[in-house]
Amino acid sequence: MKIYHRLRTKLSIAFIIVTLIPTLIIGIYAIQVASQTLQAQTLAQQTEQVKILENLIRSFLSIVKSDLSFLSQSAPLREYLNLHMVLMSDSQVESVPTNSTEATQQAVHNILEQKQTALEQEFLAFSRSRQIYYQIRYLDEMGQEIARVDADESKSWIVAKKLLQNNADQDDFKGTMRLSSKQLFISKLDLNREQGQIEVPHKPVIRYAVNVYYPNNQRAGIVTINVNPNQFLQALGDAFLIDQEGFFLHHPNPKKEWGGPNDLKTGVTFEKDYPQIVSQVLNKNGTLSTNTAAISYQRIIVPGSSQQWTLLVLHHTREIFQSIIEFRLAFNIILAIAILIAIWFAIILSAKITRPIEQLTRIAEAISRGELIENRVEIHDKSEIGQLAQAFERMRVSMIKSFEKLRKQSRM
């Protein structure tokens, strides 16, 4: 008899299948449900993370806008402009100056210097309080710096008057002077330059500026602040911040940042890294799930300007489903153990079931050959197999008695 025709083999296979199929179905279902749940949970967490970071950036930029408004209307600046207008009016009066007039003008100049010093102190106190500005300056209508405070990561200081510069030829000054009274000049977020060269180590900066006016509504110059965006860039962590041209303002890999033509000119863009999704993501809001990544993205319009950035959080599928991979590994180990246990139990159970049948089969074959087995059929089983064995034993005994009876009759 071939092995696959044996009842024991068939029972073993049946036991293994009965054990294996439910385990596989449950495992596959669990993996699918866990994958879908984990992906949905990851997208939800990413979306929440993007919203939190967006609010952080918006709040920061709104504070900058409010600070610029405050500085442009501060009391020391108003007092300086009022006195400066008076001094300009007096200088325009055509008369022969007397000693008293010269003394008055000198006194006014002295007071004006005091107001300028007060303005510098105001800027200094504000810079030390906020600690988010590289520079706070007031430039008059000719582009000359009147008051300037510089700062680094640790301290702020007033720039000496002899070091103050004329910035009339700077794009920031000319661009601001072309604006109306309520408009803000907001530069792009880029790398700071000193004397036309990108500063090293790299220092990202945003420049804000607004026009200020004399009491007679004549233009009096601008107030400008250079903002340190590291205050929010460093909080982005593994998120991407992309400008509207697709260049990275922040990237988990710093080597990919500042690739634009006005910065490092590396040409590294979001489109080059992710060409298949750039049209769905850049300057838009939403979530996106692909075979390789889960993506959440949010458009950020810089308050007070037409500029917009894209804030994006991306996690690769292999990172998201790491726990699923671990689950699959554990499931495969459990499945292998379950199969081994099922095979062991199948062999034992099938042997227990088929051994009596095999014994009865051997006895039946012996009887069919005319061999009357003297040994009893001893199978201790209370199931149907045991009942069959008992019936078989009774049949064997009856056949022996019948053969003995026939022998006696044949001898007579």
Cβ atoms within 10 A of the Cβ of 391, count?
A: 12
pTM for this predicted structure: 0.72
CA separation for the pair 373, 366 (Å, rounded): 7
SS3 166: strand
Specify the pLDDT at position 30: 77
CA separation for the pair 233, 225 (Å, rounded): 18
Cβ atoms within 10 A of the Cβ of 341, count?
A: 11
SS3 163: helix
Identity of the residue numbered 274 = Y
Specify the pLDDT at position 73: 93
**Adjacent-strand bridge partners of 157:** 150
Contact 310, 282 (CB under 8 A): yes
Specify the pLDDT at position 242: 95
Specify the pLDDT at position 7: 62
DSSP 31-82: HHHHHHHHHHHHHHHHHHHHHHHHHHHHHHHHHHHHHHHHHHT-HHHHHHHH
User: What are the structural domains, with CATH classification, of the chain?
Assistant: 3-36+325-411 (no CATH), 42-54+236-322 (3.30.450.20), 73-233 (3.30.450.20)
Please give the angle made by the CA atoms of 145, 93 and 81, to the nearest 5 degrees: 30
Specify the pLDDT at position 150: 95
CA R_g for the chain? 45
Report, as ranges of residue numbers, the positions in the chain whose pLDDT lies below 50.
1-5, 93-96, 98
CA separation for the pair 56, 96 (Å, rounded): 61
